[in-house]
Amino acid sequence: MTIVTRPSVTGTAATLALTGLAPLVWGSTYAITTEFLPPDRPMFTALVRVLPAGLLLLAITRKLPHGEWVWKAGILGLLNMGAFMPLLFLAAYRLPGGVAAVLGAAAPLIALGFAALALNERLTLRKLLAAVIGMAGVALVVLRATAALDTIGIIAGLGGAASMAAGTVMTKRWGRPEGVKPLAMTAWQLIAGGLVLVPIAFLVEGMPPALDGRAIGGYLYLVIIGTALAYAIWFRGLARANATSVAFLGLLSPLSAAVIGWLALGQSLAPLQVLGMAIALGGTLLGQTATTPKPVTEPVKETARVAA
């Protein structure tokens, strides 16, 4: 039995910097969806994103869950994929995009509460302030004065944020079985979430739409880059850093979407939005503070090295 030591400050910073690439990639989903994919098929899109990506990673890792990890992977897949994505799309369809993004930006704040209960991470005033600052910055970037509110949409948006926050924290709490790499854990969760989405997609939207070459290209991007690669990076970072620190990186997604919309779709980017980006980035950085979680011991082979 070897105690796994905590990574250095430099190693943690490098891990978080790499992990931040995942929400930056997720920010491209809006542009891909509007420019390449068939309209009004959110559940089909969620299913195509998740299940093929999971099967692709399973083919690479060739490792199936066993024992208690069958139901643990199912719960994590439900929280991170199967429940999160339908709620996300429901909020997006019933609310203006800015309102949905702000509700999604509540995930770090919710994760703070879950991490305090499940991981014994200290709930500090600094992190609470960082979460509020991050939400305020995102609101300046995406919210419009004419935004209309819808009760079901708001509940769905907050539910999606809570689902993702809980999934992030529980992924950190349960860790992974000995000898199983983060890539395999990612595959299990994607497949579990995809299996949840299969009946939802067919019940809500019926048979799949006809796809042209442009749509196929968009889906391939979402499967390989936006899901398989991005989630592999996300869960790798979550295995090596504090859950709340990783959760704060999710604030980068709406900022990435705004920049991509400006660069690729010709959308305007006002000075107030630029200020909001700076504020949201400040909240993200402020949230990257050390916490004091419970010491964790993990059995590893004596010959194995702890990855940096």
**What span, in angstroms and rounded, lies between the C-alpha atoms of 147 and 277?**
19
Q: How far is CA 59 from the centre of its chain?
A: 23
**What span, in angstroms and rounded, lies between the C-alpha atoms of 187 and 168?**
15
DSSP secondary-structure letter at 241? S
**What span, in angstroms and rounded, lies between the C-alpha atoms of 211 and 220?**
12
Residue reference for tokens 């950190």: 172
Please write down the long-range contacts of 56-61, taking CB distance under 8 Å and 24 or more positions apart. Answer: 56/187, 56/223, 56/224, 56/228, 57/183, 57/184, 57/186, 57/187, 57/190, 57/228, 57/232, 58/184, 58/187, 58/188, 58/191, 60/183, 60/187, 61/181, 61/183, 61/184, 61/187
pLDDT at 7: 54
CB 115 within 8 A of CB 169: yes
User: Where on the phi/psi map is residue 207: left (φ > 0), alpha (ψ -120 to 50), or beta?
Assistant: beta
Indicate the pTM of the whole model: 0.85
Q: What's the Cα-to-Cα distance from 256 to each of 24, 27, 109, 187, 196, rounded to whole Å?
A: 5, 5, 20, 25, 28
CB 74 within 8 A of CB 195: no
CB 85 within 8 A of CB 151: no
* pLDDT in single tens digits along all 308 residues of the chain: 433 445 566 778 899 999 999 999 998 888 888 889 988 888 899 999 999 999 999 999 999 999 999 999 999 999 999 998 888 878 877 776 667 778 888 899 999 999 999 998 888 999 999 999 999 999 898 877 666 678 888 898 899 899 999 999 999 999 999 889 999 999 999 999 999 999 999 999 999 999 999 999 999 999 999 999 999 999 999 998 888 999 999 999 989 988 888 888 887 888 988 999 999 999 999 998 654 444 444 444 433 333 33
pLDDT at 217: 96
Judged on CB neighbours under 10 Å (0-12, 13-18, 19+), 115 is buried
Coil vs helix vs strand at 206: coil
Q: How far is CA 153 from the centre of its chain?
A: 19
